Amino acid sequence: MFNRIFAIAKKEMRQLKRDTRMLFIVFFFPVVLLAIFGYAINFDVHHIKIAVYDQDRSLISSEYFDLVTYIDNDDQIKKMLDEKIVQAVVVFPKDMSRRLLSKQEVKIQFLVDGVDGTSANVIQNYVNAATYSYSIQLTKEYLAVTGKNLYVPIDLQPRFWFNPDLQSTRFLIPGLMGMILIITAVISISLSIVREKERGTIEQINVSPLSSIEFILGKTIPYIVISLINATIVLLAGYILFDIVIKGNMLLLLLGTFAFLFAALSLGVFISTIADSQQVAFQAANVTSLLPSLILSGFIFPIESMPIAIQVLTNITPAKFYIVILRAILLRGAGISAFWDQLIYLGIFGLVFIALATLVDKKSKNK
């Protein structure tokens, strides 16, 4: 039995070696995806371009903001925002220094381009924080002069665990890894089986004593190896480009990845039983792996904030479960108790699709 499985796996590797299109999909595609997504999907807002209308000529600036220009009249404010030269304009009032020194309240106007709501929110938060800490500092100085200490009743000290700097790439890399693995696994296995259907070579295998289990195992082994290589590439790239180290246990990571590959490959095998041409298989694999793993897996959009109906729908992608596992292991260094249920879901997912594939295959045998 093992010899037969091995014969299939070896044949598959030899074919793959000569199939440049497939090699491209299998190895180059993940790297491109990683680079694009890793750099493009970034929720962090840095280098906000601002213009300052300093009617008082006494600027205080910071690293979060890039001062693009000074302006000196009201008309220019509109021009700056309209033409997207800057994202925000700060207007310091004429008598700011004088009022500050005489301990009067100062009103600073902050005009933000609200078209990109997410960035606008972030900008507002930065400004609030900056203003707050500057106010405290001024208050302290003022009190120090009068010989008193500032009493702040509650001082909130937030610490963000697992991702202390709240970098969105740390959050995205596990999702990206899930997405890349599911795409390459589903596409490669379904194409490789459908190609045999298309070319008629599967007939020769059907008449041999090879069982479908042996055939599928032989077919999937090379793609499991490739997927593990891909996973390593993604993790290495995550480390080199985005400074992400694996906090948890490598063996658990391997276990989770196997469970995920089982689910993803069985989805691919299922697709191969319903598709009769490589084109159909490619489309079906894309629709069932790329879109759900991008939108429904929790990769970018948190599942908890989706409507219930959509939350149920998210179970159609095994990437959802894998991302939970990956985040637990990669970012939190959690043990198996944090994600054992996800392993079970992945197991069920894989079994359901293998069962469906067997059913469809049996039916098609009587056609």
Collapsing DSSP to helix, strand or coil, 53 comes out as strand
* Cβ density class 307-340: b for 16+ within 10 Å, e for less: eeeeeeebeebbbbbbbbbbbbbbbeebebebbe
Indicate the residue among 14 and 98 with the shorter CB distance to another protein.
Answer: 14
| Closer Cβ to another protein, 146 or 366, answer by number | 366
Cβ atoms of residues 247 and 330 within 8 Å = yes
Entry field: residues in the chain: 367
Closer to another protein by CB, 56 or 361: give it: 361
Distance of CA 253 to the CA centre of its chain: 17
Nearer to another protein, 22 or 253 (CB): 22
Nearer to another protein, 222 or 256 (CB): 222
Q: Determine the angle formed by the axes of helices 278-285 and 168-199, rounding to 10 degrees.
A: 160
Cβ proximity to another protein: between 210 and 228 the closer is 210
CB of 362 to another protein, least distance (A): 10
Q: How many helices (H) and strands (E) does the chain have?
A: 15, 4
Shorter beta-carbon distance to another protein: residue 6 or 242? 6
* Contact between 172 and 38 (Cβ < 8 Å): yes
Closest distance to another protein from the beta carbon of 334 (Å): 43
Shortest spacing between CB 24 and another protein, in angstroms: 16
Beta carbon nearer to another protein, 210 or 306:
210
Coil, strand or helix: which one is 113? coil
Strands 48-54 and 65-70: parallel
Hey, what are 113's tokens? 């381009």
C-beta atoms surrounding 211 within 10 Å: 12
Min CB(1)–another protein separation in Å: 9
CA distance 184 to 181: 5
Sign of torsion, CA 349 355 356 358?
positive
Footprint of another protein (CB under 8 A): 3-4, 6-8, 10-11, 14-15, 18-19, 199-201, 203-210, 365-367
Handedness of CA 330, 332, 338, 341 (dihedral sign): negative
Nearest distance, CB of residue 203 and another protein, angstroms: 5
Is the CB of residue 169 less than 8 Å from the CB of residue 244? yes
Contact 27, 230 (CB under 8 A): yes
